[in-house]
């Protein structure tokens, strides 16, 4: 069977779904791999490296001839219309935003899998692309803030006096938040963090940051769930003074398939010191600050709000390596004797399968 890796066609996407290291593994599993010329250029994976790993590099998009198509972003409607009946696709794909694409997949009897819906169970951890890419985003968010902050992050003691460390507040302590905490600590900042999940406190403290204990109801689950507007209002009241005292605020709270909760208000930003920076990782889903615009920077008084847009794509080398391993590990659940044959009785495959056998199986996350 042929696995195709086309060059990404959606704007500003610099990652690739298959790197030479994973090509070797797919070939060893009995599959043939076809990669479009230049697909890995941003990730510094040259065509020669793909050939050396056993792939065929093609000048044209390999989608029409492929049995399995792997990509980072969803295929375009034009690409989807070229898929073989019965083909398999693997990518990020949020059904709420891609209804037209799902209908094409349905009509062409394509079996599509989305990492957005991958069940968060132990067996699926090695294929958890949301987590691997969140790690990249959390790291990058701190670098974005440090570059824009008009002061040092670490403390310096000099003959001219002592420069105190910057104060960083991280809202949300999932994978992105924890990586942001770790990175800010490595750069010498004083870090505080808050998460609605009580269990996150131990992880935050293990990284050397202070966990904010707010007078609020906590959640006991592994992943945060949506809260009432009354809860969010009280949360904003208690967070406000911590935001005002921070030089950098990094917000990471997002709920798949829903609008991001508003954690930071304009009044909070106006209380921050001039030159402070907010990096909103949830900007693409509405923003933890309601005024965030994905891909744009906005000044609120003298505070800069950076609306993050696809931060993992800004670090395409390691983001691609991690993502391609996730793709490989998901495919391994489907491969038997050189054939990709997904068994949807498997809870992992069933959970992230959007379309199959002419049916749309899931309408939203």
SS3 content of the chain, % helix, strand, coil (to 5): 35, 20, 45
Residues 65 and 216: their CA atoms lie apart, in Å, by: 55
* Adjacent-strand bridge partners of 156: 163
**Spatial contact of 306 and 148, defined as CB atoms under 8 Å apart:** yes
Closest residue by Cα to residue 173 from 148, 119, 209: 209
Interior CA angle at 117 toward 113 and 102, to 5°? 50
DSSP-based three-state secondary structure for 338: coil
Three-state DSSP class for residue 2: strand
Taking Cα atoms as reference points, which of 22, 19, 21 lies closest to residue 329?
A: 22
Q: Which residues are catalytic?
A: 120, 125, 128, 131, 223
Distance between CA 92 and CA 75 in Å, rounded?
10
Q: Nearest Cα to 324, choosing from 22, 11, 13?
A: 22
Of 295, 298, 299, nearest in space to 308 by CA: 295
Longest Cα–Cα distance of the chain, Å, equals 72
């Amino acid at each position: 069977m042929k696995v195709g890796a086309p060059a990404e066609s959606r704007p500003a996407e610099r990652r690739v779904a298959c790197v030479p290291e994973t090509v070797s593994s797919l070939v060893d599993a009995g599959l043939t791999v076809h990669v479009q010329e230049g697909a890995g250029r941003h990730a510094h994976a040259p065509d020669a490296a793909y050939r050396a790993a056993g792939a065929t590099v093609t000048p044209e998009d390999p989608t029409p001839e492929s049995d399995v198509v792997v990509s980072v972003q969803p295929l375009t409607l034009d690409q989807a219309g070229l898929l073989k009946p019965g083909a398999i696709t693997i990518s990020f794909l949020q059904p709420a935003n891609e209804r037209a694409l799902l209908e094409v997949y349905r009509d062409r009897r394509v079996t599509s899998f989305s990492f957005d819906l991958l069940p968060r169970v132990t067996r699926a951890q090695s294929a958890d692309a949301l987590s691997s890419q969140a790690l990249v985003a959390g790291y990058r968010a701190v670098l974005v803030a440090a570059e824009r902050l008009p002061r040092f992050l670490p403390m310096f003691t000099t003959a001219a006096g002592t420069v105190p460390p910057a104060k960083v507040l991280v809202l949300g302590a999932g994978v992105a938040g924890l990586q942001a905490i770790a990175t800010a600590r490595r750069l010498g900042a004083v870090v505080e963090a808050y998460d609605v999940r009580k269990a996150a406190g131990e992880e935050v403290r293990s990284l050397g940051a202070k966990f904010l204990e707010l007078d609020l109801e906590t959640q006991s689950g592994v992943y945060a769930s949506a809260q009432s507007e009354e809860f969010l209002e009280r949360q904003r009241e208690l967070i406000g003074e911590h935001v005002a005292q921070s030089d950098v605020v990094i917000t990471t709270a997002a709920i798949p398939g829903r609008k991001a909760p508003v954690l930071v208000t304009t009044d909070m930003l106006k209380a921050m010191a001039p030159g402070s920076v907010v990096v909103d990782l949830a900007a693409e889903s509405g923003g933890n600050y309601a005024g965030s615009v994905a891909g744009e920077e906005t000044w609120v008084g003298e505070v800069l709000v950076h609306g993050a847009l696809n931060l993992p794509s800004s670090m395409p080398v390691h983001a691609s390596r991690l993502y391609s391993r996730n793709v490989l590990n998901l495919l391994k659940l489907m491969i038997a004797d050189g054939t990709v044959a997904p068994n949807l009785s498997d809870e992992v495959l069933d959970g992230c399968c959007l379309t199959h056998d002419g049916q749309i199986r899931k309408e939203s996350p």
